[in-house]
């Protein structure tokens, strides 16, 4: 398995297919069969995907993206004069919750695409 040519696994297309929640190899089948529960293998191309575990890198990526969006929103609210703490409470708290839930699947898909392209799987540990 390790002798596969890495040229057959271009990194950026695999990441992009993962961000779209599709199989990083073929880009046709869904990568998740529930919210962020990845499939064991692609039903179209048969690529085994169960060994790509993103672990704690997923919340790191999601929090990093979310903090930038929330910070930009806070800055815009401060600059526009809406500095009422209740506005922050009613806008930013729900926004942070919705954003983190919305970012989880594409972030996990992108990470699986990156791990698939680079061959960073847990398969050899089993």
Residues near Zn ion, by CB under 5 A: 23, 25-26, 42, 44-45, 47
Q: Which is nearer to Zn ion, 48 or 106 (CB)?
A: 48
Residues with Cβ within 8 Å of residue 47, at least 6 apart in sequence: 23, 24, 25, 26, 41, 116
Q: Which is nearer to Zn ion, 47 or 95 (CB)?
A: 47
Least distance in angstroms from the C-beta of 42 to Zn ion? 3
- Give SS3 for 48: strand
Least distance in angstroms from the C-beta of 3 to Zn ion? 21
Least distance in angstroms from the C-beta of 28 to Zn ion? 6
Least distance in angstroms from the C-beta of 10 to Zn ion? 15
Q: Which is nearer to Zn ion, 22 or 58 (CB)?
A: 22
Q: Which is nearer to Zn ion, 13 or 47 (CB)?
A: 47
Separation in Å, CA 47 to CA 79, 111, 120: 49, 16, 14
């Amino acid at each position: 398995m390790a002798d596969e040519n890495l040229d057959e696994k271009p990194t950026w297309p695999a990441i992009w297919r993962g961000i779209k929640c599709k199989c990083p190899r073929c880009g046709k089948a869904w990568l998740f069969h529930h919210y962020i529960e990845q499939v064991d293998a692609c039903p179209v191309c048969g690529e085994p995907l169960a060994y790509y575990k993103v672990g704690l890198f997923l919340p790191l990526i999601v929090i990093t993206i979310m903090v930038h969006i929330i910070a930009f929103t806070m800055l815009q609210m401060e600059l526009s004069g809406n500095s009422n703490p209740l506005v922050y409470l009613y806008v930013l708290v729900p926004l942070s919750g919705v954003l983190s839930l919305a970012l989880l699947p594409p972030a996990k898909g992108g990470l699986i695409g990156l791990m698939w392209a680079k061959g960073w799987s847990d398969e050899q540990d089993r």
